[in-house]
Structure 1
Amino acid sequence: METVPLWVLILALALLILCSAFFAMAETALMAANKYRLRHMAKRGHRGAVTTLWLLERTDKLLSLVLIANTLINAMATALVTAIAILFFGHEESVITIATAVVAFLLIVFAEISPKIIGATYPERISLGSSRVLKPLMSVAKPAIWFVNLFVNGLLKILRIRGVNAHNQHRLSLEELRSVVLEGGQFIPQKHKSILLNLFDLEKISVEDIMTPRSQVEALNLDAPIEQIKLELTTCYHNKLPVFEGEINKIVGILHVRKAIGLLNESDEISVDHLRALLSEPYFIPEDTGVFEQLQYFQEKKEKLGIIVDEYGEVQGLVTLEDIIEEMIGDFTTSMPGTARGETIGWNAKGECLLEGATPLRDINKKLGLDLPLDGPKTVNGLLLELLQEIPDSPIALKIGQCVIEVVQVQNQAIKVVKLLRPVAVKRWLAA
């Protein structure tokens, strides 16, 4: 050691610190790398991504390689600094202690913290480059890795802990995928993000949440006078109509309006029997059927409209394929007048919003950013009636959460129009 120049010893120490920094940086980068991005790059033929994924599939061996190398390098660096100190200052204990502190400081700053911060900042870029060095090193160090892992695996079995790779092969849950989409930021256009989030919500809701309620269903009564039936056919807003006899619970079929209009154009002398011949079989859906499940049923059965019934077989409303598509991508069809489905929902300059009582609570929460309860009634009318336990005969207001809902108009045993006040407007309302 005495014959080795000082500059060579210092250069060797610097190289050891650089090697230690490389392994620390590579370890952090590989653990922090986005595997989905790497898989995408690998599918496009990126060799570095393929190598990186190969290493990540062998996490136990990878960590063993990095930690063995780091431990040996750090031990060599400590021994080298100690030797330099003894060479120039003798065997003084204080000198050896200071030398140990100095090398510890150098390793912490230049071989641990700084490289790991860099690795966490640029994980993909660094992991792609370092993987080309680590893969051949793993082959060279295979005997040492096997020997060390022999004891490690034995210890893990005693502690009843599965290997690292077993925990890495999990799949993302829907909520985790939702978080990935929400954190996509500028990488996902807002409209695409909205559609993806709506897709996740389809698993949570039933057809009852998006149906057109019974009171708003446009249907044809075969027991009505034929002239009234003709008038309803020529003024209806839909291409398909449920057809019933006497009352809505006795649905006998679905009428394709275009076929009926074509029959009217051919002859004014049509009867109920002529219309009955045009009917197709009605398709009934239990009210608790999931929306995503129903979308699959529509596809399998080649249907576009279903009648929703409760456990007693009574009609609750109807749902169409368009309703489900709108739930995913937003409104795009024109709703018939008198319904709440096509209604524009938004706060005005005063922080108020006028809505029909039949407006679904889910739409209100989504478009106004509120948190009205969804585990009970589906509409604002139903929510207010449940809370009041009676039909109000005069204007009344309720504070639900941070929002005030004021009854504006009651008609036909139902709340027809309400006014919502957003939290900022609520404070002014309470002060007044």
Structure 2
Amino acid sequence: MSWDQLGQELALVMETQTAMAAHWGGAVFSALLGSVFSAATVTLVAMPTTRLTVLRDDAQGAHRDALNRYLKNPIRIRSRWLVGRVACTAMTAVLIGQAILPLNEGWALPIAVLGTLATYGLLTEVTTSLVRRHPSKAAPFLLRLLFPFEMLLAPVAWPLEWIARLTGKLIPHREEDARYREHEVGLLLEEGQRDGTLEEERVQMLKNMLEFEDLMAVEVMVPRTSVTAIDAETTLEEALRVISSKGHSRYPVYRESVDNIIGLLYAKDLFRVVEDQNLQGKKVGEIVRTPVNFVPEAKPVSALLREMRARRLHMAVVVDDYGGVAGIVTLEDIIEEIIGDIRDEHDVEEDPIVELGNGGMLVDAAMAIDDLSEMLGTEFAEEGDFVSLGGWIIHRAGRVPEPGAELEAWGMRFIVREADERKISKVEIHRKDGQSVPPRAQEPFVAT
């Protein structure tokens, strides 16, 4: 072999090696860029819109601009990222194939496919793991990093953007979407409570506001059995004694039956009559205020609050599907759903749940069955026309049981401790397996 031929061979080898190095380098860069597209997509899709909005409001300069651009049109940006991922994957496969082709033409294709999967998969896993450690910091950084590539991919990604917008218009807004946004806000509130930026009371109040729109009148009312109603034929002297013992400012007034509410008695009206004239012979029906605001059980509490504010009402009577009185709702009841219990000098502090020394607990029968279910960690597999623990027991028994009556269900024993002919007041609850109630440090059990 002459020196010229040797030189040509060496030059060819060097050229081949240089080309292979360039191909491998390009393949790694392409796979790395594709992994960044994937990491950005995973990060931004996983972050709630509310959190991104907070990040934007707290950011400054280029970071703020990048987040604002994404929030204005996330579909456009993610469509371009999708095209970028596909292009990077294809480019990686082509470059690996070109690098292998001079060495072994027959194995170039399978090695290119396997090499692409391995390289792209490894880099994607690494970049995604790194980004997930600090998503709030990574989000604006990735948006800025990928912006030049978005501009290059814009013409190619336009058809995808158009299809995505068309699909969004064809698919109607679902209630679940709003529920998901509420869940996002709930997660932000919990995060704020954990890091100390929000107080527990404020977090609870904000959560109550989120749930407020879903409440119905039947869920916040004082049940009929707990309402102090006054007969229209009651004398003012007797009414004065009732008001003195109960301490409320307003009372429903009925004629013949509680289902026939004719008006409301205001304590201040009665006191004014006491000051001005003789009470002898006068009846409650003579000073009652009308009309009464009747609302159905299913009326949203938010709408009821707006109505009561507009009409300057402080009490509404809740009626069932048959027109019977189910209970009453006061303005105080509605406000308490947001800010918690409001207690004045007339309220008696009483814990609705008292833990007993024998492992059981004494529960107020007016406790909502859903709250009891959550506290006990059970799933009550039963439906019926009841909302409270006492209502459920009456539903199961078919009558108001006498004190001492027992009922077994869901792996527990329910013992009626206080009751009269109309309602149950107190119920004692025990686990049948002898463990304490509520269960402590145990997996929730499913009631059957």
TM-score range, shorter chain: 0.7 to 0.9
Indicate the larger mover: 99-108 or 344-353: 99-108
Please tell me whether the aligned partners of residues 24 and 70 of structure 1 are also in contact (alpha carbons under 8 angstroms).
Answer: no
Please tell me whether the aligned partners of residues 240 and 270 of structure 2 are also in contact (alpha carbons under 8 angstroms).
Answer: no
Please tell me whether the aligned partners of residues 353 and 363 of structure 2 are also in contact (alpha carbons under 8 angstroms).
Answer: yes
Please tell me whether the aligned partners of residues 236 and 270 of structure 2 are also in contact (alpha carbons under 8 angstroms).
Answer: no
Structure 2 unaligned spans of 5+? 1-11, 438-448
Query: Compared with structure 1, are the counterparts of its residues 342 and 7 closer, same or farther at alpha carbon in structure 2 (3 Å cutoff)?
Result: farther
Please tell me whether the aligned partners of residues 308 and 319 of structure 1 are also in contact (alpha carbons under 8 angstroms).
Answer: yes
Distance, in Å, in 1 between the alignment partners of 2:134 and 2:80 is 23
Distance, in Å, in 2 between the alignment partners of 1:394 and 1:303 is 39
2:385 aligned to 336, 351, 376, which one? 376
Distance, in Å, in 2 between the alignment partners of 1:271 and 1:406 is 46
1:130 aligned to 120, 137, 142, which one? 142
Is 1:68 the counterpart of 2:80 in the alignment? no
Distance, in Å, in 1 between the alignment partners of 2:146 and 2:364 is 65
The secondary structure found in structure 2 opposite 1:327 is helix
- The answer for the alignment partner of 2:74 in structure 1 is 56
- The answer for the alignment partner of 2:55 in structure 1 is 41
Matches of residues 299-378 of structure 1 in structure 2 within 5 Å? 299-333=309-343, 343-372=351-380, 373=382, 375-378=384-387
Query: Compared with structure 1, are the counterparts of its residues 388 and 165 closer, same or farther at alpha carbon in structure 2 (3 Å cutoff)?
Result: closer
The secondary structure found in structure 2 opposite 1:248 is strand
Which residue identity is paired with 1:32?
T
Query: Compared with structure 1, are the counterparts of its residues 280 and 371 closer, same or farther at alpha carbon in structure 2 (3 Å cutoff)?
Result: same
Is 1:253 the counterpart of 2:263 in the alignment? yes
The secondary structure found in structure 2 opposite 1:425 is coil
Please tell me whether the aligned partners of residues 395 and 407 of structure 1 are also in contact (alpha carbons under 8 angstroms).
Answer: yes
Query: Compared with structure 1, are the counterparts of its residues 336 and 219 closer, same or farther at alpha carbon in structure 2 (3 Å cutoff)?
Result: farther
Which residue identity is paired with 1:129?
F
Please tell me whether the aligned partners of residues 406 and 418 of structure 1 are also in contact (alpha carbons under 8 angstroms).
Answer: yes
CA deviation string 1:205-240 (max 9, x = no partner): 532333222332223334223322333344441112
Q: Give how far 1:356 is off.
A: 4.2
Query: Compared with structure 1, are the counterparts of its residues 51 and 199 closer, same or farther at alpha carbon in structure 2 (3 Å cutoff)?
Result: closer
CA deviation string 1:311-360 (max 9, x = no partner): 4443332111222232344323359789xx95422544543222344444
- The answer for the alignment partner of 2:43 in structure 1 is 32
Please tell me whether the aligned partners of residues 233 and 283 of structure 2 are also in contact (alpha carbons under 8 angstroms).
Answer: no
Which residue identity is paired with 1:187?
G
Query: Compared with structure 1, are the counterparts of its residues 170 and 3 closer, same or farther at alpha carbon in structure 2 (3 Å cutoff)?
Result: farther
Query: Compared with structure 1, are the counterparts of its residues 167 and 11 closer, same or farther at alpha carbon in structure 2 (3 Å cutoff)?
Result: farther
Q: Give how far 1:300 is off.
A: 3.3
Matches of residues 226-265 of structure 1 in structure 2 within 5 Å? 226-265=236-275
Please tell me whether the aligned partners of residues 57 and 165 of structure 1 are also in contact (alpha carbons under 8 angstroms).
Answer: no
Q: Give how far 1:25 is off.
A: 1.9
Query: Compared with structure 1, are the counterparts of its residues 137 and 236 closer, same or farther at alpha carbon in structure 2 (3 Å cutoff)?
Result: same
Matches of residues 149-160 of structure 1 in structure 2 within 5 Å? 149=159
- The answer for the alignment partner of 2:191 in structure 1 is 186
Distance, in Å, in 2 between the alignment partners of 1:20 and 1:77 is 11
The secondary structure found in structure 2 opposite 1:173 is helix
Q: Give how far 1:68 is off.
A: 1.7
The secondary structure found in structure 1 opposite 2:35 is helix
Distance, in Å, in 2 between the alignment partners of 1:77 and 1:383 is 70
1:396 aligned to 395, 399, 405, which one? 405
Query: Compared with structure 1, are the counterparts of its residues 77 and 115 closer, same or farther at alpha carbon in structure 2 (3 Å cutoff)?
Result: farther
CA deviation string 1:77-129 (max 9, x = no partner): 442x326xx4xxx65867x6897589547624653332343345544433422
Q: Give how far 1:305 is off.
A: 0.5
Structure 1 unaligned spans of 5+? none
Percent identity, aligned pairs only, is 17
Size of the alignment, in residue pairs?
410
The secondary structure found in structure 1 opposite 2:434 is helix
TM-score by length of 2: 0.73
Distance, in Å, in 1 between the alignment partners of 2:324 and 2:378 is 32
Distance, in Å, in 2 between the alignment partners of 1:423 and 1:197 is 35
TM-score by length of 1: 0.75
Q: Give how far 1:51 is off.
A: 3.3
